[in-house]
Structure 1
Amino acid sequence: MPRRPRTTVPARSSGRPSGRPSARRTWPWLLVLLVGLAGGLGAPVVLDARAAAQHPVTAADLAAGRTALEQLPVKGRAPRTGYSREAFGQRWEDVDRNGCDTRNDILRRDLVDVELKPGTQDCVVLRGTLLDPYTGTTIAFERGERSSEVQIDHVVALADAWQKGAQGWSDDKRAAFANDPANLLAVDGSANQRKGAGDAATWLPPSSGYRCAYALRQTVVKAAYGLWVTQAEHTALTRAIDRCVVVE
């Protein structure tokens, strides 16, 4: 399987218990996740400064994000012909061979107060609490009938990626993309369903304070994987990044 592109994207706090190596350490191809990407291109405009301050970015981070955005090709969306989830490989593979599937790796990374199932080598998450970045709400996760209240979102949706370059990739690269934690977040299930396969032009997180970090994450992931954006998407990403709160 080819090495994943090196990406630098917003971080999430982790409530994983000690004992099992963190997903961040067991994925050698993943860089330390940052809060954003940056640039000293003038003071950003903030609609909701208090909310945005919960997800601040540095000036250097923002400059890097703006550079990545400038480098993204802008062109029309390709047809969705031939797309299927299966084109991106098996759902939640153990691509890093750490003995745990990607879904549980992300749950351990993004939830706090995590309780793990005994006998699973610290893999399967039974319970935890999600501080949801998309809605700003707190969600109690419990494995079982209500597990869907917390879902793992592809920040750059697979169908969106398919229409903007991924249909020309190898099977291995698509599987790597689908399981890359740089492009995955544990989020509110209903918000994830409303997003669907939308890009930044059609959907942004309801929590305005997270839109900067979300736009930066989409931008660097697309740039790292060589995807393109539509003009409307480029405009939406630019607007969100312009409203980032910068930490001095």
Structure 2
Amino acid sequence: MTRVRMVWLALFTAVAVVVAYQTVHSATERSQFIASADVPTVAPGEDVLAGVAVLPLRMRAGDYRRAAFGESWTDDNDAPGGHNGCDTRNDILDRDLVEKTYISISRCPTAVATGVLHDPYTSLTIPFTRGNQTGAAVQIEHIVPLAYAWDQGARFWTDALRVRFANDPANLVAVQGQANQDKGDKEPAVWMPPNAAFHCQYAIQFIAVMRGYGLSLDAPSAPALQRAAGTCPYG
């Protein structure tokens, strides 16, 4: 490892340790979900990345475990109707789908049985039917991927904070299953939604989550997010 890389690694670790002690549970410190009908606006000359630490590279930790963010969805979330017996996945499906029908399963009395997704990532209209295979057409996507958050500081968080992050509606959106798979854990410098009309909202939500949770951004992704935010209308 070169001396320069060691210096940046030490800096990254210092930033991440600070992150671990930040108070991020307050709703005022976390982004609120932006409804698809409400396109964000930015002021001319606004620095959308103000307050977000930027490090030269994405420092891959190598020890990411999905289980570190909780084994499954919980009912402890702030989605509309949360704490209702339905887990986060069911709450987000209910929030993001239209033309819905419902069934009662386990402790969730209002699980979406069928519905329609107007997918923001691809602009496709996708029918949803609950089932092991058919349900995969619509998946719940973390706007800031869990593995990316892990690399950028979340590995220093408490287990409870990681579970909260994984179930935060501000970081979740229902999308086409294939688009979710194509994205994986890629950062904005590598992947943006195929639907360019959604780049503004994607960037604003990505930045809001990073800022709200005190996560650092890899430098190559900064201009990608700024370009995307540049497509937002002026407020």
When the two chains are superposed, the root-mean-square deviation of aligned CA atoms in Å is 2.0
Aligned to 1:98: 84
Aligned to 1:10: 34
- Residues 159-206 of structure 1 show CA distances to partners (whole Å, capped at 9, x for unaligned) of 000000101111011000000000000000001100000111011010
Aligned to 1:213: 201
Distance 2:39 2:31 in 1: 12
- Residues 186-244 of structure 1 show CA distances to partners (whole Å, capped at 9, x for unaligned) of 00000110000011101101010001100110000000000011111001001111122
Distance 1:88 1:196 in 2: 16
Question: Aligned AA for 1:36?
Answer: P
Matched, 1:128 2:115: yes
2:150 to 134, 151, 162: 162
Aligned to 1:38: 42
What's the CA shift for 1:38?
Answer: 2.0
Point out where structure 1 has 5 or more consecutive residues left out of the alignment: 14-33, 42-62
Contact 2:126 2:138 in 1 (8 A): yes
Question: Aligned AA for 2:44?
Answer: G
Distance 1:37 1:167, change over 3 A: farther
Question: Aligned AA for 2:51?
Answer: Q
2:50 to 59, 70, 76: 70
Matched, 1:109 2:90: no
Distance 1:243 1:227 in 2: 24
Q: How is 1:130-145 mapped onto 2 (pairs within 5 angstroms)?
A: 130-144=117-131, 145=133
Question: Aligned AA for 2:111?
Answer: V
What's the CA shift for 1:141?
Answer: 0.2
Question: Aligned AA for 1:3?
Answer: H
Give TM-score scaled by structure 1 length: 0.76
Point out where structure 2 has 5 or more consecutive residues left out of the alignment: 1-23, 78-82
Aligned to 1:174: 162
- How many matched pairs? 203
Q: Percent identity?
A: 42
Matched, 1:81 2:81: no
Distance 1:115 1:244 in 2: 34
What's the CA shift for 1:121?
Answer: 5.2
1:228 to 216, 221, 225: 216
Distance 1:100 1:85 in 2: 21
Contact 2:85 2:109 in 1 (8 A): no
Distance 1:150 1:140 in 2: 8
Distance 1:213 1:185 in 2: 12
Higher mean C-alpha deviation, range 119-128 or range 228-237: 119-128
Distance 1:100 1:80, change over 3 A: same
Distance 1:125 1:9 in 2: 20
Distance 2:173 2:232 in 1: 20
